[in-house]
Amino acid sequence: MQGQSVMSADGWWRGAVIYQIYPRSFLDTNGDGVGDLKGITAKLGYVKSLHVDGIWLSPFVASPMRDFGYDVSDYCDVDPLFGTLKDFDALLETAHRLDLKVITDQVWSHTSSDHPWFAESRTNRTNEKSDWYVWADARPDGSPPNNWQAWFGGPAWTWEPRRRQYYLHNFLPSQPQLNIRAAGVRSAILETARFWLNRGVDGFRLDVANYYAHDLQLRDNPPSGDPAPALPRDMQMHLYNSNQPEALEFVERLRNLVDSYKDRMMVGELAPGSFDLMAEYTRGDQRLHTAYAFDFLKAWPGTAGFVDIVSCWQDRPGEGWPSWAFSNHDVARVVTRWGEAIGAPPGRAAPLFLSLLLSLRGTVFLYQGEELGLPEGEVPLEKLQDPWGIAGWPATKGRDGCRTPMPWKEAPNGGFTRAKEPWLPVDARQRLMSVDKQERLTESMLHTARALVAVRQESVALRTGASKARDEAGVLVIEREAPGEHMLCVFNLTPAAVTRPCGSAKVVWAADAVLASGKLHMEPFGSAILKLG
């Protein structure tokens, strides 16, 4: 049956395809211009039609929304902007009835400065939560304790006059860093995890999991040597405000709790990370079940660079399991980011990159709208919401372009909301690529996406098989193999037509590629998935 999953004995998440939903931008049902939980529930049938295994929900818990939910003021309640806990329970019940797993975003590195914990901690140095955040004295000259730089620009320290100390924030000043070494913090986070596990969620996506702990000596970060830094944070290597042993120790405590529930999992975001960090955080069976870094969320690495990245994972004893994403809520959409880099027009870039993503050994995260081939949205300065984009314009446009509302219909506001204006404008180009329009077409990126996910789901080799990758002068070749099945995935990343021998093979799926007389003829930016033997 088309789209039937070949589930892994090692866990449902291993090799799964998980659809990321950014709640603010998915579907608005109450007319306030912001997406909500009822909107997600209403579209779970659509999500199921993509043949994915589950969904990852970006934050929907209580927050002042200075960083759109990644600044939490109550870990165990839904923000009224999105609905209620009853709405979440209904979403979870509907998803499970459709055999979709649900992963929720958990931001346990920091809270909002509006969180009651911080309100108490900042009052003085003797209260019960005085050590729940990272506090430090000023240097003798009154300057911050060290040179650490925040990800959104400027020093990672802000002065608190009531305590006469600085507090650490690796992101916005309104996102104070939790002190994971404090017993009360560890207990509170574990209770938060139990709260959601008891409600029935299938797993957690852990935001910046490698930022859970900091260097107790508060040593200065060394310079990075970056020749063209975009922000002060790029001028240093983040050795001491991240990646500390205590972070791994706490991840192990979380894993122990999660594993006490049946069929649950944790995927960690490791920022910016790469193989070494991913391997460290997933090694063995006591840490994260899987993790992703930013290898494929940055500039196009080139075919040789791509091969180097995926080839690090060789299924060695005790080695962890990777996750991969080409787009998400923090980076420009891949059709634009990589498509422009290699000169691929959007119509060819979309199937090329999606077929490539779904050919990788690991767990795959598919960002909402990626199945439609959406390019990066254009958001004018006066409509920007992202504090990073507002502060950095025009050097950076921030993250709003990848967060524009989902275009459901070729109608005003893309059918996302009945409000006069949505929280972010719907790009006119994206509205022309709406779900309803693509459903009606005989051929569309949406139909292509369904076919591609179904191909992966029906193949043991593509989901969990061994992987070998090589670069053939700009043509990327990935072989996937499992007992009784050998798949050959070929991607032409060049603007020239290519012909290569393929021996005895059968086309499983192809775009701008034809197999004839044992040779694969590929148009510029064409791709094909073949079965050998």
CB 405 within 8 A of CB 424: yes
Nearest-10 crossing angle of helices 183-199, 245-258: 30
Nearest-10 crossing angle of helices 346-357, 445-457: 10
Question: Helix (H, G, I), strand (E, B), or coil: what is residue 27?
Answer: coil
Q: What is the largest CA-CA distance in the chain?
A: 79
Residue with token string 């200075």: 66
How deeply is 434 buried, as exposed, middle or buried, from its count of CB atoms within 10 A (0-12, 13-18, 19+)? Answer: buried
Q: Which residues pair with 21 in a beta bridge?
A: 57
Q: Are strands 290-292 and 165-168 parallel, antiparallel or unpaired?
A: unpaired
- Determine whether 269 is an active site residue: yes
- Catalytic residue, from 36, 79, 207, 386: name it: 207
Tokens of 324: 């991969």
Q: Residue 394, preceding bond cis, omega within 30 degrees? A: yes
Going from the C-alpha of 277 to that of each of 20, 209, 255, 312, 429, the distances in angstroms are 23, 11, 17, 12, 38
Closest CA to 531 of 356, 523, 515: 515
How deeply is 355 buried, as exposed, middle or buried, from its count of CB atoms within 10 A (0-12, 13-18, 19+)? Answer: buried
User: Which amino acid, 465?
Assistant: G
Report how far Cα 132 is from the mean position of its chain's Cα atoms: 28
* List of residues 6+ apart from 38 with CB closer than 8 A: 29, 30, 83, 87, 90, 91
Question: Helix (H, G, I), strand (E, B), or coil: what is residue 135?
Answer: strand
Rounded Cα gap, residues 248 and 206, in angstroms: 13
In this structure, what are the phi and psi dihedrals at residue 247, rounded to the nearest 5 degrees? Answer: -65, -45
Q: Are strands 519-532 and 498-501 parallel, antiparallel or unpaired?
A: antiparallel
Going from the C-alpha of 382 to that of each of 153, 223, 389, the distances in angstroms are 21, 35, 11
CB 208 within 8 A of CB 292: no
Rounded Cα gap, residues 432 and 438, in angstroms: 9
The sign of the CA dihedral 290, 291, 296, 297 is positive
Rounded Cα gap, residues 516 and 201, in angstroms: 48
Rounded Cα gap, residues 139 and 339, in angstroms: 48
Angle, vertex CA 460, rays to CA 455 and CA 463, nearest 5: 70
Closest CA to 103 of 19, 23, 47: 19
- Catalytic residue, from 28, 36, 202, 269: name it: 269
* List of residues 6+ apart from 470 with CB closer than 8 A: 307, 476, 477
Which residues are marked as active site? 207, 269
